[in-house]
Amino acid sequence: MTDDPLKRIGMATPIFGFSHCRDVVAAVSKAGGVGVYGAGLHSDDQIAIDLKWIEDQIGDLPYGIDLLMPSKYVGSESGGLSGAQAKAAIPAEVTAFLDDMMVRYDVPEETGDEPEDEFLALGGQRYSAAQARGILDLAFASKAKLLVSALGVPPADVIDQAHARGMVVAALAGRVKHALSHVAAGVDIVIAQSYEAGGHTGEIGGMVLTPLIVDAVAPVPVLAAGGIADGRQMAAALALGAKGVWCGSVWLPTGESDLLPVVKRRLVDAAAEDTQRTRAMTGKPSRLLKTAWVTEWERPDTPDPLPNPLHAVAIGSYVSRIEKAAASPHATAQSGAGALAPTAAGQVIGLISEETSCRQVMVEMMTGCVDAVASVQDLLEAQ
């Protein structure tokens, strides 16, 4: 067995494509990359269905599974809150604010009784080891070559179990100290996620963060994440010492993406400055498309976002209502649920001006990277 974790994964091109959408994951792997399925926002039943579907689509091609494994959150000292405990901890003023928002944006109430489901009661996010056990069991039973912690240092027993099954373990880091903690725990690959990235992200830009982490954890391989949507940025990341790139936002407007049509249209029309780092989605700083949802939470007269996982619990049913209403073919980004619909997105959306396909993204990134390297070489040889 090779000591190179990237070779153990079976990476054909140095592009890792993260998505919560199974169609994107499969398309990236089939196009020569490594699709990575974001499992943290799905129920165990849905994960089982999606993993089987992905494996049926890609055969023996490599793919990965990503989930949240933070060590600090509300209730961490007791192993995590139950759905009932978390709901009881939501301040009345937050619920009143959300109820008022639904009225002001004319978001209809959902019909029928709310299902008795612990996953839904927790806002669709799981933080404790017990809550994530279903995801891990499914991951360890799958053909996935890669297990990724999007938030937090993977616990020792998780790393041991992954390694025992021949899986490579990776983790995202927004600071050097986080990267060093990952390596000390036994992580095989560090993903340097910069300020430009969508979702949970830190405060250091990629041109600084990537070489800092590359130098700090050498010889452990590093992937660069954040601000990467074309071949020029990929070439820059490789020049900074990264062994590959981790991309998320670039897949959002693709034909394979299951993103709401109204949000896709908004992303294609957006500029780089149309995203904002905010606590409006999970209670932790993350970069979102700047919709009315973000604007409402950032107002000085509204409640502060709650610490995780309480914020996800508080907003879970409301976001579900918004997404169902925004799925209407008549929804627009100017009013109602379409104006609110929240989604994580990085600053690279400013480079995306049309809907395309995952394969086309892969082809353009690879050819663009080769062209960028050749251009730099020509420039240097001309001196």
**Are the CB atoms for 109 and 321 separated by under 8 Å?**
yes
**Are the CB atoms for 344 and 199 separated by under 8 Å?**
yes
Mind listing the domains of the chain with CATH numbers? Answer: 8-381 (3.20.20.70)
111: burial class by Cβ within 10 Å (0-12, 13-18, 19+)?
exposed
What pLDDT does residue 309 have?
Answer: 82
CA 330 to the chain's CA centroid: 28
What pLDDT does residue 77 have?
Answer: 72
**Which residues of the chain are under the pLDDT cut of 70?**
1-2, 73, 75-76, 78-80, 112-131
What pLDDT does residue 2 have?
Answer: 63
Helix (H) or strand (E) holding 113: none
Which residue intervals of the chain are DSSP H helices? 5-9, 22-30, 44-58, 83-88, 92-104, 118-121, 129-141, 156-164, 176-185, 206-217, 231-239, 261-269, 292-298, 310-326, 336-340, 358-381
**Are the CB atoms for 41 and 18 separated by under 8 Å?**
no
d(CA 99, CA 242): 46
What pLDDT does residue 87 have?
Answer: 87
Reported as a single tens digit per residue, the pLDDT across 368-382 is 999 999 999 999 998
